Structure 1
């Protein structure tokens, strides 16, 4: 991790040891003596509201991903350290102790921007790098004031740079629930009317006048004739047939949610020596 591209890492996204996304890498803190990276700060809150320090030791870089040897919960619960200033030995020791690493005392760490400011003979807190947002407002004001004094002494026009905060609103994906398909059996009672037929016996009598051919030989006696009757009855059979296929489809529904936050901006007032009731030199 000591040989990674600082500019590339500042536009990377940090992931935990379990593969979960933690947040965007905001700053890289370098050792004052060796110049090697010692800490990263990772944005773990909404709208950039919270940065947490993570030791570089054990981390790896994979393109635009930084894989940390800690889970997201561990990083989010790290001790709160002001990310806008130079780290003190006590703060470093507290962070090393939290992450269960051996602390080599006597060294402090600052961002690469902080190191450049020290080389130029100015003192300031650590600022952001390659993020487009100036987090080191106090240091900027100090440098601006010194530059204005130089311009006034040289007879040049004086100016100030006015800053204001803007809301950078984004979204994050989270698990909202589960949908399951469960098949179960219910019993319905059905009634069906089925038409059926059956045979019935009717008695038909035909009078004879005595001249018809005799089929009984004129013998009087008992006789029995058997007739077979038929009828239909309903027969019920059941079979299982496929009637419908039910599936689940995911779709993305877009809606608008309102977020509110307080932002600060700078205003510029002009003040002369007469306003301050001070003698002019």
Structure 2
């Protein structure tokens, strides 16, 4: 079992169902009880750190794992930590509402006895964490603002000793977010067009056919007026319209992968030393 707050740094964090959330990056400690209240968890290289409540959490030593009492989905949608690493009173209240945590029972009671009581209103400050509330920086850990934190002089660690100069530089954290790029609409409307179709037809016509009589005794001699009437026929083209389905159409969205080149300016600090040769400066 870890004995100090800084021992939690780097531990893998799992939710109630055993799904891995990330790794502990910072720990925030309650001023009054000394119990850890929040853990800042790194969930990925392109994601901002998420705050996870430590109330009811459990530790496992082999391997070092921290199981919290909230689901992974709730962590993904939780309010993110500000870039300065501070938790304000309003931010903490929003976290209480999001996770459904009782503000009066937000401390990790099982672990509070290892953290020890605060000294003169000052939170224990260890590990790799940030500060919150109204106080100034307190080493590498942080405190919440619910207990009236006042600014106190932190214990100086190695990185803040007067004989050290810390050189810093900016790094790019690249991520993506989905935005609306346009709209597409499928609209059906009616147009009229002319079609010309050739239809085969037939009709009857009259022609005279003459046949000479070779046997005069075979036919009677019918002398006088006589008429013969014949009915003629012809095809007439008729046109009817019917509505038939001919095609189904729909809009389909395809995901197309591409690449974009991002150019951004970053700053970094350089060290100059007066009184030394140039070769010694860059040694």
TM-score (norm 2): 0.49
TM-score (norm 1): 0.50
Greater helix proportion: 1
Relative contact order, higher structure (CA 8 A, sep 6+): 2
